[in-house]
Chain A
Amino acid sequence: MMLMNLFAEIDVSKLFGLALRTSISVQAATFALAAVGLNLHYGYTGLLNFGVVAFMAAGAYGMAIFFTQGWLGGSILLAIASGVVFAVVIALSIGLPSLRLRADYLALTTIAIAEVLRISFRSQRLLDLTGGPFGLPSIEDRNANVSFADVITVDWNPIKEGNYGAWFLEFDEKTLWVMIIGWSLVSLASLLIWGLMRSPWGRVIKAIREDEDAARALGKNVFSYKLQSLIIGGVIASFAGIVRAFDMGFVETQQFRPQTTFFIWTVLILGGAASIWGPIIGSMTFWFVIIFSEELLRQMVDSGWIPDAILQSNDIASVRMILMGIMLATLMIWRPQGLVGKKEEAQIDIR
């Protein structure tokens, strides 16, 4: 009886609709893009980068600062370029001191740089440049609905005003355009990684992941390759930050907290490290599961099927993360190579 009641209460169309919508959203595209960058770092080169978000923040803030300051005429393309350059600088400042050291030192440095960057952007001293805790653009501009994203989402938007699609998959022209940009960049970056990894360059990169000393003994300049990998992956992740900024219309330090890094790690491990499709499948699955479980719980709580004494609607957000964690742990036991990873190559060493 109870079960019958449940099915009667659940809005299945909404459940799947919302989950599907999020799994193809700009949010999912940016996570996939950042995971493509991390995949080069960790999946192929074996670099433990726990500061993915630093590259995203560098891209987003580099672009936003350049644009809002109106440097060099405030061109949006130059602004994007400066975001990318900022990410390269971050890659160099992480890589030059720590890539010669053992892998764990790189992990520590990346996590530290990500936090240093976020807290600096937030500081009062940089208020004029970064907007401190308020972010960019300024409050006045935001109230007047003026943003650096306007050039991209309005001026350069080829899609006519209106709503497209149907059901829960209906998007306005701005969202649709940024979605197209986001997923195009994901495809482009994946194609780049595919091209690189099938070349002799990629062979050296994989050898470094397996055993640095073996690569050195065969005459490969391991340090230089690791730095190249860090820069390329970092630039890809910086585009994730830039696209996210265009989607939201503003940048804020809250978007670049360490948990974002761990979500992107989850995406990569879920989908499968060292595979081209891993980051894409991983990100879509990640968001589908998150929103599906959130919406299911919400409907169950709202219908009274789950009593208030057990779960209240404002706790759902944390419960969905617990579910995500359980799912990841289960996956690690049954399918350690991730959803689409190659078992022989991607399996995480449990030694």
Chain B
Amino acid sequence: MTSDNQASELENVEAVPGSPKQDPILKIDNIVRSFGGLRAVDVDHLEVQRGIITAFIGPNGAGKTTLFNLITGFDKPDSGKWTFHQLSNKESWTTNLSGLRPHQIANKGMVRTFQLTKSLAKMTVIDNMLLGAAEQKGESLRNALLPSRWQKQEKQILKRAEDLLERFKLSHMRDEYAATLSGGQRKLLEMARALMSEPKLILLDEPMAGVNPVLVESLLVHIENLRDEGVSVLFIEHDMDAIMGISDWIVVLAEGQVIAEGTPSDVSKNPAVIDAYLGSEIAEELKDV
């Protein structure tokens, strides 16, 4: 699949909040989370298209990370339902994700990373990677003491881990403790580790934050490569400029609600978005210009 195909899939999608997608991988309905009197997240309906890069943007405090936490099970919503739609060999099935615990959601094929990287500092880079693989036989206590039961699988996992490290240019750090990596390298490691489980949908929480500009370039390339390999990508960013180039679809959040969605060009022209980012007064001024 190329990005042209995906663009055509998005052609007929209306650029309004909650618009239905042709082939959604994730559907969210009536999800609400309040902290005291503040409705941090209040989304009526949202669909995420399969096979493309979708970005959640919005000013600080818009509820992006809270929404991420809710759909990955790290926080519990007051109400709401969300479902995961999988596809293989023309067969499709729907999994209800609401109410599941974080590890159950990850095991369904929806894996996340964190804004503040959670690279496991006192483990080596390669151990971090190996940990990411799903359904490891040796991870059950029954088999742990019998290496013959897991060594073969371990070798396959090791191969994949090394390939991914190569791709993310971390091979030279293979046996170093993750604590020795730079901030940007940790972001790369966390992304590579999440890919070890071969997720269908990967959720990246501000992958570019705190990363030096040179590394941002390569991060963007990695994200595009993921999409081209068929992984759906959903990521959070609050810097609009950074994402315009790579996002296929943008969902704009403000004060917990979806205020706009659309292609980058749709969104950048949307007065509601300019308003949310710059405040209404400046938006008025811009109109005059």
Contacts and interface: CB of A to CB of B under 8 A. Distances in A.
B194 interface: yes
Contacts of B147: 199
Contact of A203 (B131, B194, B196): B131
Given A199-B145, A200-B138, A344 B72 contact: no
Contacts of B138: 199-201
B122 A203 contact: no
B151 to A, nearest CB: 10
Contacts of A207: 120, 123, 131
A211 B144 CA distance: 21
B138 to A, nearest CB: 3
A203 B127 contact: yes
Contacts of B145: 192, 195-196, 199
Contacts of B221: none
Nearest to B73: A216
A195 B120 contact: no
B111 A217 contact: yes
B192 to A, nearest CB: 12
Of the candidates A206, A207, A219, the one having the most CB atoms from chain B within 10 angstroms of its own CB is: A219
B92 interface: no
Taking residues whose C-beta sits less than 8 angstroms from the other chain, chain A's interface range is 20 to 34
B171 to A, nearest CB: 20
B130 A220 contact: no
A344 B121 CA distance: 9
Nearest to A214: B118
A346 B122 CA distance: 8
Contacts of A213: 74, 102, 114, 118
Contacts of B112: 217
A231 B203 CA distance: 35
A218 B150 contact: no
B102 A200 contact: no
Contact of A219 (B120, B122, B197): B197
B107 interface: yes
B122 A218 contact: no
B179 A344 contact: yes
Interface string A319-351: 000000000000000000000000011000000
A151 B173 CA distance: 57
B118 A200 contact: no
B112 to A, nearest CB: 5
A200 B150 contact: yes
Taking residues whose C-beta sits less than 8 angstroms from the other chain, chain B's interface range is 35 or more
Interface in A194-253: 195-196, 199-204, 206-207, 209-211, 213-222, 228
Contacts of B33: none
Interface string A176-191: 0000000000000000
B103 A344 contact: no
A255 to B, nearest CB: 31
Contacts of B122: 206, 209-210, 344-345
Contacts of A344: 122, 177, 179
Contacts of B141: 201, 228
Interface string B119-140: 1111100010011101011111
A293 to B, nearest CB: 34
Contacts of A200: 130, 136-139, 144, 150, 154
A220 B144 contact: no
Nearest to A208: B120
A211 B190 CA distance: 13
Nearest to B117: A214
A217 B106 contact: yes
Given A203-B130, A203-B131, A207-B123, A218 B106 contact: yes
A348 to B, nearest CB: 11
A206 B130 CA distance: 12
B86 interface: no
6 contacts: A199-B150, A213-B114, A215-B131, A216-B106, A217-B111, A218-B196
Given A199-B147, A218-B131, A220-B139, 10 more contacts: A200-B139, A201-B139, A201-B140, A213-B114, A216-B106, A217-B74, A217-B106, A219-B106, A222-B103, A344-B179
Interface of B: 72, 74, 101-104, 106-107, 111-114, 118-123, 127, 130-132, 134, 136-141, 143-145, 147, 150, 154, 177, 179, 193-194, 196-197
